Amino acid sequence: MAKHKTAPAAKFLLAIAAIIVLILIAGVIFTSNQTTMMRWAFVPSHEIATEQTGEAPDYTDEAAWAARPGISTNALLLPEGIMQTAMVPEADVFYIHPTTYLSKDRWNAPLDGDEAAVGRRKNFALKYQASAFGLAGQVYAPKYRQAAFGAFFDDSGQGVQALMRAHADVLAAFDHYIASDNKGRPFILAGHSQGSLHALLLLAERIAVNPELQSRMIAAYIIGWPVSIEGDLGTLNGIEPCEAPRDTGCVVSFQSFAKDGDPAAVLEMFAKTPGLNGKAREGTTMLCSNPLTWHVGGKASREANLGGVEVIPGADGIGAPIKELTGARCGQRGILYLNEPPQGSWREFLMTGDNYHAYDYNLFYMNIRANAAKRAQAWLEAHR
């Protein structure tokens, strides 16, 4: 396939993509009254121009990484009862964590200055998401000055600035990883929520424009962030949806809702907001990768679920996988519906419309773990 040149309006498209975050999250998760309350509770009251962000992370320093080879972190944890088998050799995972900073004291989080945010990064993001890739390769997870939770409810444009600040750190981390750590190995790109937005932009800015890097990308797991097949992936130089469990060089994405959930707000905002091509996504297709089959679309029963892992606050490790937790089907408009949505603690962090966003990884943890390793192995077999 012919290679596209880098779009001259790339920076403009990045700003558009950042605006998508603000509109989508604020408009989808909460009603208008709730949004007003969330702005009051979480949006910083000071001007972002007055904020001292501190020096950018120095990614040559091990302390600037939440996880990387050679340091002990929760990204190395295994679920109870699971024995570590041989890691796929010569493969890496570059993982970008979701929003963990909830304070309204700053527009952009300090790397380590907020104890609660650091705790969520360690005990949720690394523990229940990054660890799912531990069989596929060595995990590199940068700390970054993430946009605060309140940035997603701001309508002044300052939230967009906060997201672009955060994205600059992610780009710097990836550039350092490629230049100094990767050493020519194939890699997986992964994220969740805010982290998946950064991953999608990174695909456009670094990978799709570099044939050598693109050839080494095993897959991109852009989970918990809506992706338009035409409006987003259509701009990425032949990077397409993963159609089968062993496909490589492709993208996976899904958004989890209860079987009777109401994704109307997500679908409305998806239609009204522009993709990376700068055009409205109305009439385009939202990518739904079924994590029980790894095909685009379709359905699978709970027997295909290798095991979800429950979020257990305060636990030192990860609980035993719950096999056959739920089946799942992709709806006609790109939403992943859970056949048997789990109850109890699984509903503690539900979003409006029975959106299981916080549990996207947990619901299908063992399937993600197995598939990432399978794709990595498939890449190595194809290139030897």
User: Angle, nearest 10°, between helix axes 10-29 and 194-202?
Assistant: 160
Confirm whether 113 is domain-assigned: yes
Confidence of residue 86 (pLDDT cuts 50, 70, 90): confident
Confirm whether 167 is domain-assigned: yes
Confirm whether 77 is domain-assigned: yes
- Number of CB atoms found within 10 A of residue 86's CB: 7
Beta-sheet pairing, 256-258 with 250-252: unpaired
Averaged pLDDT for residues 319-336: 97
pLDDT at 59: 98
Question: Of 92, 142, 93, 143, which Cα lies nearest the Cα of 113?
Answer: 143
Mean pLDDT, rounded, of the chain: 89
Confidence of residue 8 (pLDDT cuts 50, 70, 90): very low
Confirm whether 125 is domain-assigned: yes
pLDDT at 40: 61
pLDDT at 18 over 70: no
pLDDT at 53: 81
pLDDT at 34 over 80: no
Encoding tokens for residue 293? Answer: 């089959």
Averaged pLDDT for residues 299-309: 98
pLDDT at 148 over 80: yes
Confirm whether 1 is domain-assigned: no
Can you tell me the distance from the alpha carbon of 68 to that of 90, in angstroms, rounded to the nearest whole number? 15
- How big is the chain, counted in residues? 384
Confidence of residue 228 (pLDDT cuts 50, 70, 90): very high
Asked if 98 and 194 touch (Cβ cutoff 8 Å), the reply is yes
Q: What are the angstrom distances between the C-alpha of 323 and each of 50, 364, 365? A: 51, 10, 10
Question: Of 249, 200, 246, 192, which Cα lies nearest the Cα of 224?
Answer: 192
Please state which of the ranges 7-21, 86-100, 248-262, 270-284 shows the lowest mean pLDDT. Answer: 7-21
Averaged pLDDT for residues 177-186: 97
Percent of the chain residues past pLDDT 70, beyond the cut: 89
User: Angle, nearest 10°, between helix axes 158-176 and 10-29?
Assistant: 120
pLDDT at 79 over 60: yes
The domain containing residue 22 runs over which residues? 10-382
Confidence of residue 16 (pLDDT cuts 50, 70, 90): very low
Confirm whether 373 is domain-assigned: yes
pLDDT tens-digit readout, 369-378: 999 999 999 9
Averaged pLDDT for residues 321-330: 98
pLDDT at 48: 83
Confirm whether 62 is domain-assigned: yes
Confidence of residue 44 (pLDDT cuts 50, 70, 90): confident
pLDDT at 1 over 70: no
pLDDT at 360 over 50: yes
pLDDT at 351: 85
pLDDT tens-digit readout, 102-135: 888 888 899 998 999 999 999 999 999 999 999 9
pLDDT at 5: 39
Q: Which residues 6+ apart lie within 8 Å of 163 measured at CB?
A: 18, 21, 22, 147, 151, 194, 197
Asked if 75 and 139 touch (Cβ cutoff 8 Å), the reply is yes
Confirm whether 3 is domain-assigned: no
What does DSSP assign to residue 330?
E
**In the chain, how many domains are there?**
1
pLDDT at 38: 65
Please state which of the ranges 41-45, 208-212, 244-248, 353-357 shows the lowest mean pLDDT. Answer: 41-45
pLDDT at 71 over 80: yes
Q: Which residues 6+ apart lie within 8 Å of 196 measured at CB?
A: 96, 98, 222, 223, 224, 225, 253
Question: Of 371, 313, 309, 314, which Cα lies nearest the Cα of 342?
Answer: 309
Averaged pLDDT for residues 235-242: 95
Confidence of residue 266 (pLDDT cuts 50, 70, 90): confident
